[in-house]
Amino acid sequence: MKIFFYIALLLLLVLSLAMTSATAADLSPRIEISGVFDEVLDNVTEALRPPVGLIRNGEVNNLWLNRYIRTIPKRVARALEPFGYYSAKIETRTDRNVTPLTVYVIIDSGDPIRIATRHLEVVGANHQELQERVARFPLAPGDILRHAPYEEAKAELLALATDLGYLDATYSHHSIEVNLAEKSAVLNLRLDTGPLFHFGEIGLDGGDDYPERFLRRYITARRGDPFSFTVLGKTQQQFLDSDRFKNIIITPLREEEQNELIPVVIRLDSKPRMRLRPGIGYGTDTGARAFVRYQDVNLWQLGHEFNTDLLIAEYKKNLLGTYVFPGYRNIDTKLALHGGYQSEDIDTYETTYYFIEAEQLYGLKEGKVASVYVRLQQETSTIGNEKNSARTVMPGLRFTLSRLDNPVRPKQGYRLSMEVRGASETLGSDISVQQALGNINWIIPIPWQTYLLVRGSAAASLQQNDFDELPASLRFFAGGDRSVRGYAYQSLGPEDLQGNVIGGKHLLVGSIELEKRFLENWGVAAFYDAGNAFNTFSDYELAKAAGFGLRYFTPVGPARIDLARTLNAEKERYRVHIGLGVGW
């Protein structure tokens, strides 16, 4: 019985608090404000929020109420000053004959204070980036004096100086001189940078199962470089992105600084080196699929990496392996050995191939990676009514440039990839062909959590043999989840005399998509796709489709459901496309 008593007591207490809150809300004075709008109105409204002690024991405290009403003009004046209004006229009228009591606040903000001149100075260091930031300082002569952009710019300038290595930077003088008679203001700002600090010794604590030379690939700072918290943040992110470490703690030892050299300690906690990651999924291009990845990220305790991927899907099967020898120039420089088996069985063609490939990658600056490779492949294909088999020895060059703010859930940036490759009978191939391929994905932010996504793909071939001798992997097709939606995967391209799609020598595909994100992980999109594969520009026919889709953003990329409708086709149809992942 006691528990029912306590429950009833708790419910009574909650009900009492709710009634008290409702009573307080009913008795609080109503404030009617006129004369100001938008953000100025919001600031005044916040400044006039009634004090907590105004309602006591369900009754208005008249002493506090009268004191509050008397302070309204002063509160409003203070709330207007951040927007440049220093000479406002504020009138209040109180209607005590209504419930709740209503206070009318009539505001004549008057003319704002404007900047007459400004004196902005950086002393101690003549750093170009600091001078450029000063030149972009807001509130130029003639502008309205607004406190928020002034304080933001002041904080950003100091933060920039600190990040450039001037850790003792401070404002030796900062003031705003307001002349009410002339309705003008003078800005005075003097930043004293102090000395420039540099990185001292950068020590490693933990990660003993990896060679120290391997670990230092992830460190973007060197002894003697200007000290920068941004550089340390990039170092920490590179350790995290490697998926080899957890709990990465980077500690600058400011108290041990000598001669403007600051030592740093990086503490690492290694993850297990071997991982097994199974999964299931569905994609319109592949059908239902199951996959498993085995990974060893520290083979022989040398930082070597070995990956094996097995995919079994309705229309595709593959078994792929990669062995990576790390380079010590930077984290993107490495030698990768690839090999495996892949087969596809779709309406357009059937193909099976085995391959081995050696690729040397070079990490360049600012997100650029270039590589040179040689690929040996044996492929057997059935396309239309023709079957062929070809061995190719194909050297090539690849180049990628990535400038995305987030590789999984980007909000702005782009990714560009290009490749040239070729095979020649004189080098041991059954065919001779040269090809160039390019892809670009670009995301442009626009207001209200809306993004413009632009995608393009192009490819071209020069071939000495008959086209019938080319295997499926060296022909170009369009259509599918990441090509022209509304059409089945690889269903677009030149046809033979029987109407079978047999692919083309060239490819041109483009897409434009407007994506609106809402809540935390949801989005909707409208898109237009166009493109095709072809043999000559004279017989190029553009396949077009448009539609809309739903997005749910996961840690591995967006899950997408798109409904596309073909446009200007002989037989217009609808097609649903389902996929998971960023697709770039």
Look up residue 135 and give its amino acid. A
Tell me the pLDDT band of 7, cut-offs 50, 70 and 90: low
* Helix, strand or coil, per DSSP, at residue 420: strand
Q: Is the separation of the CB atoms in 435 and 422 below 8 Å? A: yes
pLDDT of residue 100: 83
pLDDT of residue 464: 83
Of residues 516, 514, 429, the one with CA closest to residue 474: 429
d(Cα 219, Cα 112) in Å, to the nearest integer?
51
CB atoms within 10 A of CB 233: 13
> Is 21 exposed, middle or buried, given 0-12, 13-18 or 19+ CB atoms closer than 10 A?
exposed
HEC profile of 253-311: CHHHCECCEEEEEEEEEECCCEEEEEEEEEECCCEEEEEEEEEEEEECCCCEEEEEEEE
Q: What is the mean pLDDT of residues 11-21?
A: 44
DSSP string, 498-559: TS-B--BSEEEEEEEEEEEEETTTEEEEEEEEEEEEESSGGG---EEEEEEEEEEEETTEEE
Q: What is the mean pLDDT of residues 413-417?
A: 96
Is 90 exceeded by the pLDDT of residue 398?
A: yes
Q: Give the residue ranges of DSSP H helices in 81-207.
A: 128-135, 147-163
pLDDT of residue 527: 98
Look up residue 574 and give its amino acid. Y
More confident residue, 533 or 60: 533
Span 203-255, pLDDT tens digits: 999 999 999 999 999 999 999 999 999 999 999 999 999 999 998 999 999 99
Q: State residue 190 phi and psi, 5-degree precision.
A: -130, 115
CB atoms within 10 A of CB 454: 14
Is 50 exceeded by the pLDDT of residue 4?
A: no
Q: Is the separation of the CB atoms in 534 and 543 below 8 Å? A: no
Is 50 exceeded by the pLDDT of residue 570?
A: yes
Span 417-435, pLDDT tens digits: 999 999 999 999 999 999 9
- Torsion angle of the four alpha carbons 32, 37, 40, 46, in this order, in degrees rounded to the nearest 10: 30
Exposure class string for 68-79: b at 16+ Cβ within 10 A, else e: beeebbebbbeb
Tell me the pLDDT band of 27, cut-offs 50, 70 and 90: low
Tell me the pLDDT band of 406, cut-offs 50, 70 and 90: confident
d(Cα 396, Cα 400) in Å, to the nearest integer?
14
pLDDT of residue 19: 40
Look up residue 516 and give its amino acid. K
Q: Give the residue ranges of DSSP H helices in 139-208.
A: 147-163
d(Cα 393, Cα 583) in Å, to the nearest integer?
28
Q: Which domains does the chain have, with CATH numbers?
A: 24-108 (3.10.20.310), 114-192 (3.10.20.310), 198-270 (3.10.20.310), 274-580 (2.40.160.50)
- The single residue listed with the structure tokens 């009539």 is 106
d(Cα 80, Cα 2) in Å, to the nearest integer?
57
H or E segment and range at residue 67: helix 62-80
From residue 421, give the alpha-carbon distance in Å to each of 99, 249, 436, 537: 82, 44, 7, 22
Q: What is the mean pLDDT of residues 505-528?
A: 96
* Helix, strand or coil, per DSSP, at residue 481: coil
Span 313-351, pLDDT tens digits: 999 999 999 999 999 989 999 999 999 999 999 999 999
Q: What is the mean pLDDT of residues 16-36?
A: 65
Q: Poorest-confidence range of 26-30, 338-342, 436-440?
A: 26-30
Of residues 458, 462, 445, the one with CA closest to residue 410: 445
Is 70 exceeded by the pLDDT of residue 5?
A: no
Is 60 exceeded by the pLDDT of residue 22?
A: no
Q: What is the mean pLDDT of residues 61-72?
A: 87
Contacts 24+ apart (CB under 8 A), 547-552: 547/485, 547/486, 548/524, 549/524, 549/525, 549/577, 550/522, 550/523, 550/524, 550/525, 551/515, 551/517, 551/522, 551/523, 551/524, 551/525, 552/521, 552/522, 552/523
pLDDT of residue 16: 45
d(Cα 293, Cα 301) in Å, to the nearest integer?
20
Terminus-to-terminus CA distance in the chain, angstroms?
64
pLDDT of residue 14: 45
Average pLDDT score over the chain: 91
Tell me the pLDDT band of 20, cut-offs 50, 70 and 90: very low
pLDDT of residue 365: 83
Q: What is the mean pLDDT of residues 271-283?
A: 91
- pTM for the model: 0.78
Q: What is the mean pLDDT of residues 465-489?
A: 94
- The single residue listed with the structure tokens 């703010």 is 405
More confident residue, 9 or 288: 288
CB atoms within 10 A of CB 517: 19
Span 89-127, pLDDT tens digits: 999 999 888 888 899 999 999 999 999 999 999 999 888
* Helix, strand or coil, per DSSP, at residue 428: coil
